[in-house]
Amino acid sequence: MAQPILSVASLSIGYGSKTILENLDFSIPKGRFVGIVGVNGVGKSTLMRTLGGFQSALAGEIRLEDQPLQTILPNPLAKLRSVVLTEQGVTQNLTVQELIALGRYPYTNWWGKLTKVDHEQISKSLERLELIPLKDCKFHELSDGQRQRVWLARALAQQTPVILLDEPTTHLDLYHKIQILKMLQNISHTEEKTILFTTHEINIALQLCDNILLLDPTTSAFGKPTELIAGGHFQRLFPKGMVDFDEKTGAFVIK
Amino acid sequence: MGDTKAYRITFLGLAIVLTLTFFLNISLGSVAIPPIQTLKSLIGQAPDVPSWDYIIWNYRIPKALTAILVGGGLSISGLLMQTLFRNPLAGPFVLGISSGASLGAALFLMGATSANVMAFSGFFNDISLAAAASIGSFAVLFVVVLVANRVRDTMALLIIGLMFGSITAAIVSILAYFSSAEDLQRFVFWSFGSLGDLSYPQIGLLATISGIGLLLSIAALKALNALLLGEQYANSMGISMKTTRFTIICATGLFAGGITAFVGPIGFVGLAVPHLTRQIFKTMDHRVLLPAVFGYGAILMLLCDILAQLPTSESVLPINAITSLVGAPVVIWLLIRKRKIVF
């Protein structure tokens, strides 16, 4: 396996004295598209926040580009990982282009002046996510799917080898869910970016992801979709009786 | 963010309006001085009546300069608070700074009597009133900064600021309840606000304090823009929220604290001007908004001062009432016309 860009060893996450998940071990090479699945409340968002460096791990180690995460200073860290959050405390009055330009923050000077390189990266991100016709629209004029694309473009403009996305497909219909995830998969593979995202769309994730991280309070698992299916991990995901995992089709069925 | 050059013409317009308002402000007053004579005095020639020169240079110009500093400074601190708290209702005083100044002034004007310090009546003058008010506002600011370093949640800080405001306001009420009618009146007069009481050295001091506040705000410009995406995103882009919050709070404290100390608690301007500015400068870029709200605030304050003077009449209305009386309907009208707030 190639040199991992993100590796986690005996990681415990949670808040203060409350441990949510423990003994997480996985390492992800460059350019992988990884879905994180698990039932509600299992700690997907907490893991994202911990991996992003927003909250500290309770135990264990996270290494990003072979450096311990907690030793990386804020500005260098901002050049290693970008995030797309579920939080929407954002001003609605920015244009698409302005919002994406903010992704260049770690690279600009104190005044925030955009150089030629910055402008190129912004146009590239706009193009990559098919946002050029919308670039002068205000954020509040956009649909949910378009907004999600804008956030992705902003993260892309931040030019980081790792992108973390917390539930990028919530509020989207099936078509737009697939559209966003296909775009992400494509970016991950063509631009050698490691993309981790949490999702409830296990069926879609199984078809698109290179790796799946399945979070479970007792037995979390990381591997290729086929490996996890063969290992019977999805059978244990939900309580028995209501839904069942069909190993042949790789989908959940209602009983 | 967008191109700052796109607003050059708007800024030129703003500068022209500011100059005109400044001139209008010093030409009008209880003594009628023809504009030509005002101009003469300004460019160093003696006007027809020698006392006009005195009135213009020793009364009207200091007052107009104070108005510019006060209007501009309060507006900038309003902008800073609105962005920091991501709340369109935030203003320069949400952290309890003006309540702190009131407490200082109240303790000085009303508390001093009960403690029989009135023997030092020579001590009792406007400068020490300003000092008392600034001690009050900076004491509150100091506590807020201490608390800000302990709480990680900015929203909690907003509520804590409001609570401090309530506590100080309550102490002021108690002091007011037990003080004599005369002292109470003095306090009420202080709370009306007054732009005309500052000497040149005092203006110099206020300008220095505001200048430091301005430098801190400029240092925070880039972070302010990133804060438009919320704290988490700002964090993810490499901003230390702790440093940024500290810088923004100190800048606001210097502006609002210094201004309140010298001219009394002047409401409304700091809250409204950023909104009024965003109607003309249709951007959220703080590099454009910062100078724009300063200019806008200065103009609004000069205009309010003209109205407060009631040109050609002897009486002067309290400036604090005028700012709200004039400003509030303007904001209401703008919001009704636009139907929604641009924030």
pLDDT in tens, chain A (255 residues): 568 999 999 999 999 889 999 999 999 999 999 999 999 989 999 999 999 999 999 999 999 999 999 999 999 999 999 999 886 667 778 999 999 999 999 999 999 899 999 999 999 999 999 999 999 999 988 998 899 999 999 999 999 999 999 999 888 899 999 999 999 999 999 999 999 999 998 989 999 999 999 999 888 899 999 999 988 888 888 887 788 888 888 788 887
**What chain B residue is nearest to A112 in terms of C-alpha separation?**
B222
Say if strands A81-84 and A162-165 run parallel, antiparallel, or are unpaired.
parallel
Give the Å distances, CA to CA, from A168 to A71, A121, A184, A224, B62: 28, 22, 10, 21, 57
Residue B119 pLDDT exceeds 50: no
Is B222's Cβ below 8 Å from some Cβ in A? yes
DSSP of B91-157: -TTTTSHHHHHHHHHHIIIIIHHHTTGGGGGGG-SHHHHHHHHHHHHHHHHHHHHHHHHH---HHHH
Distance of alpha carbon B180 from alpha carbon A54, whole angstroms: 55
Element (H, E) at B227: helix B221-227
A174 vs B132 pLDDT, higher one: A174
Distance of alpha carbon B253 from alpha carbon B250, whole angstroms: 5
> Is the CB of residue B64 less than 8 Å from the CB of residue B298?
no
CA-closest candidate to residue B96, choices B251, B272, B256: B256
B244-253: average pLDDT:
90
CB contact under 8 A, B228 and A102: yes
Q: What is the pLDDT at residue A30?
A: 93
Which residues make Cβ contacts (< 8 Å) with residue A37, sequence separation at least 6?
A44, A198, A199, A200, A202, A205, A212, A213, A214, A215, A237
Distance of alpha carbon A168 from alpha carbon A84, whole angstroms: 7
Which residues make Cβ contacts (< 8 Å) with residue B80, sequence separation at least 6?
B217, B220, B224, B248, B251, B252
Q: What is the pLDDT at residue A221?
A: 92
CB contact under 8 A, B222 and A99: no
pTM: 0.90
> Is the CB of residue A37 less than 8 Å from the CB of residue A237?
yes
Q: Which residues of B touch A75 (CB under 8 A)?
A: 238
CB contact under 8 A, B222 and A158: no
Q: Which residues of A touch B339 (CB under 8 A)?
A: none
CB contact under 8 A, A111 and B237: no
As a whole number of angstroms, the longest Cα–Cα distance in chain A is: 59
Helices and strands (DSSP H and E) totals, chain B: 17, 0
CA B321 to mean position of chain CA atoms: 14
Q: What are phi and psi of B312, to 5 degrees?
A: 70, 0
DSSP state of A105: G
CA-closest candidate to residue B244, choices B157, B324, B341: B157
User: Tell me: the pLDDT tens digits for B47-91?
Assistant: 888 889 899 999 999 999 999 999 999 999 999 999 998 888 888
Q: Which residues of A touch B219 (CB under 8 A)?
A: 110
> Is the CB of residue B140 less than 8 Å from the CB of residue B95?
yes
> Is the CB of residue A148 less than 8 Å from the CB of residue A168?
yes
List the end-to-end C-alpha distance of chain B, in Å, as a whole number.
Answer: 16
CB contact under 8 A, A93 and B1: no
Half-sphere exposure of B212 (CA within 13 A, CB side): 15
ipTM: 0.90
> Is the CB of residue A48 less than 8 Å from the CB of residue A97?
no
* Confidence category of residue B342, pLDDT binned at 50, 70, 90: low
B144-B241-B243 Cα angle (round to 5): 65
Distance of alpha carbon B161 from alpha carbon B140, whole angstroms: 9
Helical axes B181-192 vs B97-106, angle rounded to 10°: 150
> Is the CB of residue B131 less than 8 Å from the CB of residue B262?
no
CA-closest candidate to residue A221, choices A5, A35, A3: A35
CA-closest candidate to residue B107, choices B168, B193, B198: B168
User: Tell me: the pLDDT tens digits for B101-110?
Assistant: 888 888 888 8
Is B86's Cβ below 8 Å from some Cβ in A? yes
Q: Which residues of B touch A91 (CB under 8 A)?
A: 86, 228-229, 284, 343
B89-102: average pLDDT:
84
B132 vs B296 pLDDT, higher one: B296
Write the single-letter amino acid at B220: A
Q: What is the pLDDT at residue B121?
A: 45
Q: What is the pLDDT at residue A1?
A: 52
Q: What is the pLDDT at residue B118?
A: 46
Q: What is the pLDDT at residue B50?
A: 86
Residue B2 pLDDT exceeds 60: no
What average pLDDT is seen over chain B?
A: 86
Which residues make Cβ contacts (< 8 Å) with residue B53, sequence separation at least 6?
B41, B46, B47
CA-closest candidate to residue A78, choices B234, B242, B84, B243: B234
Q: Which residues of A touch B238 (CB under 8 A)?
A: 74-79, 105-106
* Residue A172: both structure tokens together: 């989207």
Is B87's Cβ below 8 Å from some Cβ in A? no
H helices of A79-173, in order, are: 96-101, 116-128, 144-157
Q: Which residues of A touch B154 (CB under 8 A)?
A: none
Distance of alpha carbon B268 from alpha carbon B274, whole angstroms: 11
Q: What is the pLDDT at residue B244?
A: 92
> Is the CB of residue B146 less than 8 Å from the CB of residue B80?
no
Q: 3-class SS at B45?
A: coil
- The domains of chain B, with CATH numbers, are 2-338 (1.10.3470.10)
- Distance from the Cα of A234 to chain B's closest Cα (Å) equals 33
Is B34's Cβ below 8 Å from some Cβ in A? no
* Confidence category of residue B4, pLDDT binned at 50, 70, 90: low
- Among B225, B236, B238, select the one facing A112 at the smallest CB separation: B225
